[in-house]
Amino acid sequence: MLRRLINFFRSIMFCFKTKNPLKRRPRILGKISLRTKKCHIVLGKNVTIYPNVVFWGAGTIQIGSNVAIGDNVIILAKKGVFIGNDTMIAANCYIIDCNHGTKELDRLMREQEMDVSEIYIGNNCWVCAGCVIGKGSSLGDGCVVGAMSFLNNNYSTYSNYIIAGQPAKPIKKRGENCE
């Protein structure tokens, strides 16, 4: 009972800090972290956030309705991360829309401008455990991303595909036999 009360309080504080209406209050199942002063998180209805999720950066993080975000997920948005409705993000995923600059050989990498590009994850997707979704990635609706995959490309034309690998590539359309 005490745990439920604490999680209820966490969800109210999350709405207060992110300026989301209380009617879209997420279900928070443990301690989470907002590592930003300019937090711009937009929530759909019925969002579930598991313990140890980190929201980071000054960009927009938009999460659709009926979304579940698993344990230990890190979402870093310098520009924008957009997650569609009815999507599941499994534990230990890392979603990051930027890289350090590497173009200027006469400057230290840490002093170079960040290379930033938005991320789009479609509706009704399942991102399995341990995936990394890098800057500029787009994922079509209905996709399944295999565990431990690394996405660094535009996969938006591959709706209802299973995508896996390092780097990830379309394996097959969902519903097809494995022959």
pTM score of the predicted model: 0.92
Asked if residue 179 belongs to a domain, the reply is no
Asked if residue 78 belongs to a domain, the reply is yes
CB 8 within 8 A of CB 30: no
Show the domain range for 120. Answer: 2-173
Residue range 78-99, pLDDT digits in tens? 999 999 999 999 999 999 999 9
CB 167 within 8 A of CB 179: no
Asked if residue 16 belongs to a domain, the reply is yes
Asked if residue 128 belongs to a domain, the reply is yes
Number of domains in the chain: 1
Query: Is residue 3 pLDDT above 90, yes or no?
Result: no
Q: What pLDDT is stored for residue 178 in this prediction?
A: 54
Nearest to 149 by CA among 137, 140, 141: 137
Kindly write down the DSSP assignment for every residue of 93-142, as one continuous string. -EEE-EE-----TTS-GGGSPPEE--EEE-TT-EE-TT-EE-TT-EE-TT
CATH of the domain at 50: 2.160.10.10
Asked if residue 178 belongs to a domain, the reply is no
